[in-house]
Chain A
Amino acid sequence: MIENFDLSLVNWSRAQFALTAIYHWLFVPLTLGLSFILAFMETLYVRTGDEMWKKITKFWMTLFGINFAIGVATGIILEFEFGTNWSNYSWFVGDIFGAPLAVEGILAFFLESTFVAVMFFGWNKVSKKFHLASTWLVAIGANLSALWILVANAWMENPVGMVFNPDTARNEMNSFREVVFNPVAIDKFLHTVTSGFVLASVFVVGISAWFLIRKREQELARKSILIAGIFGLVSGLAVALTGDSSARTLAQVQPVKFAAMEALYEGKTDAGLTVIGALTDSGERIGEKKVHDMKLKIEIPKLLSIMTTGKGEGYVPGLRDLIDGNPERGILSVSEMMERGRYARQVLIDYKMAKELGDTESMASLAAKFEEKDFTENYFRYFGYSYFDHPWQVIPSVPVTFYAFRVMVGLGFFFILLFVLAIWFHRRKTLERNPWFLWIALFSIPLAYLASELGWIVTEMGRQPWIIQNLMPVHVAVSNISAGAVQTTFWLFAVLFTALLIAEISIMVRQIKTGPKH
């Protein structure tokens, strides 16, 4: 079945979405984090009356404004792509995807655009407290906007709160609460926004370090390092904590992705967490997928079991358990899921045929099935598996997921160390006497972006081949358009976004070199 699809179309559509999402995400996390850093700095200004804090706030606000302005609306392109390239998906998700995005649009437009104007135009025109309130509202608004996007994204990974309507071929939301309080959404929101806070903190520490290296704006730099260092440290620890809770949720709702992140092929108790490892081809295969051996492995004993089950002796299923099934552990095989999915699809086919024949009685009885608990929980839940020919096709790229996860986590801990050192050197008034640290801080800025992007690569590559977990594979979601058309727009976007990125970097660099106004 999967072979009947135009893989070139699927791959170009995926590449285009990945390109636009990656570029879009270059702008977002800095907005999320820097907005709060500005709010802290301005709060200090209002509370102390120290004009230096005002100068610091205005300087970072300039960089925030450049990033915000260049990045604004880049996410809308993703919505264009849904309608053009992913029409089956867009239709199938119905209002579930639309509702959170609509809330996001309204919030973004009214809250951010109104108060961003006060932030930039309101100095000396509105009261200090009103200006401060606007800065806080921009920060809260930006992060709330992210919440709705992430709720929509989380639904794709753990579809809940809906019922499928066979007549319209759409999922209809029957519980907004379940969609919003989806455990994946909560973990994802907390993990994503706190990682944005870390990125922004690294950005502020790094730019401030550059000022200290150049022996310019030293008071601004030291004070900025202190605020960003503290905010970054708290956020970095929060990222680690939310990553831990995400792992537990992930092990439940996307166990194949979780096993791929660990390159865990054989399930085991007392499973250790691999800190470092190099994957090599073992020569074995699961279907057509390579099985990897682990070389140079350093692991923390039992930690993976503890992370996923809360117990050191807890059982963590490997890819073989998840593909072949493990009845002792209550794990269904993918073959069984494929059978159940095919049954669900046959019911849908029967419904379609009854509809074509105008057999309203059969239509009613078949449609009722989609509301029955037994059918939805035991059959329709596996609907997407009906599109595969072989169980191994549900395994994502293990090396990409494994390495991306490790580099992201490694960098996360590196940033925590960076913030600890920043605070330490600041307290001892020795920042300038440790140029090595200043250079490391400066060169950490691109690493923060790398870590942030890798987080999304783990999320999205790790859940392949699904666009909606268990319900719709990526190849079923694409529109029936030509691969050439998608290829053309891929390159158009590549040029547009690269131009925007160059514009942002050049304007920002110029502003940084100019420094704050005196």
Chain B
Amino acid sequence: MDSAGKTLNRIFRFYYDGFRTMSWWGKKVWIIILVKLFIMFLILRIFFFPDFLKVNFSNDRDRGDYVLEQLTGNN
């Protein structure tokens, strides 16, 4: 194994051992992190938080024109 491979292996072992010997609270918070990220990115982001301008307009010119209309309209 060359030196870069050894370094990568050491980094992998470092994280692997760290996760393997993790305390109960560490495992618990990792579960919470994963559930949270799943809810945030795969449920909330996709189903509840579409980017309004990206969804409704196909390019930046149309987005800019829309906002210009909003800024100059009767509001």
Chain A residues proximal to chain B, CB less than 8 Å:
1, 4-5, 62, 65-66, 69-70, 72-73, 76-77, 80-81, 83-85, 87-88, 90-92, 117, 120-122, 125, 166-170, 345, 348-349, 352, 387, 475-476, 479-481, 485, 488-489, 492, 496, 500, 503, 507, 510-511
Contact between B14 and A4, CB atoms less than 8 A apart: no
Contact between A4 and B74, CB atoms less than 8 A apart: yes
Within 8 A of A (CB), among B14-28: 14-15, 17-19, 23, 25-26, 28
| B42 within 8 Å of A (CB atoms) | no
Contact residues of B: prevailing secondary structure: helix
Contacts of B23 in A (CB 8 A): 62
Contact between B53 and A91, CB atoms less than 8 A apart: yes
Contacts of A84 in B (CB 8 A): 48-52
Contact between A83 and B75, CB atoms less than 8 A apart: no
Cα of A77 to Cα of B32 in the assembled complex, Å? 16
Say yes or no: A500-B18 contact (C-beta < 8 A), given A4-B74, A80-B45: no
Contact between B71 and A492, CB atoms less than 8 A apart: no
| B8 within 8 Å of A (CB atoms) | no
Q: How large is the interface on B (under 10, 10 to 19, 20 to 34, 35 or more residues)?
A: 35 or more
Contacts of B64 in A (CB 8 A): 91, 167-170
For A517, give the chain B residue with the smallest CB separation.
B23
Give me 20 A-to-B residue pairs in the complex whose CB atoms sit less than 8 angstroms apart, sorted by A's number.
A4-B75, A65-B25, A70-B36, A76-B40, A80-B44, A81-B49, A83-B49, A83-B53, A83-B54, A84-B52, A87-B52, A88-B70, A121-B15, A169-B67, A169-B68, A476-B70, A481-B52, A489-B44, A500-B32, A507-B28
Report which of B19, B44, B75 forms a contact with A476, defined as CB distance below 8 A.
B75
Contact residues of A: prevailing secondary structure: helix
> 17 more A-B contacts (CB under 8 A) besides A92-B67, A121-B14, A511-B25?
A4-B75, A65-B29, A69-B32, A69-B33, A83-B50, A83-B51, A87-B67, A117-B15, A348-B68, A348-B72, A475-B75, A476-B70, A480-B70, A481-B52, A489-B44, A492-B48, A496-B36
Contact between A489 and B48, CB atoms less than 8 A apart: yes
Contacts of B51 in A (CB 8 A): 83-84, 87
Report which of B14, B29, B50, B54 forms a contact with A69, defined as CB distance below 8 A.
B29
For A1, give the chain B residue with the smallest CB separation.
B75
Contact between B49 and A88, CB atoms less than 8 A apart: no
Contacts of A170 in B (CB 8 A): 64, 67
Contact between A91 and B33, CB atoms less than 8 A apart: no
Contact between B18 and A117, CB atoms less than 8 A apart: yes
| B60 within 8 Å of A (CB atoms) | yes
Contact between A65 and B26, CB atoms less than 8 A apart: yes
Cα of A349 to Cα of B53 in the assembled complex, Å? 21
Cα of A238 to Cα of B63 in the assembled complex, Å? 45
Contacts of B50 in A (CB 8 A): 83-84
Cα of A348 to Cα of B28 in the assembled complex, Å? 55
Contacts of B72 in A (CB 8 A): 345, 348-349, 352
Say yes or no: A507-B37 contact (C-beta < 8 A), given A70-B32, A91-B53, A117-B18: no
Contact between A80 and B49, CB atoms less than 8 A apart: yes
Contact between B68 and A488, CB atoms less than 8 A apart: no
Cα of A500 to Cα of B40 in the assembled complex, Å? 12
Contact between A503 and B60, CB atoms less than 8 A apart: no
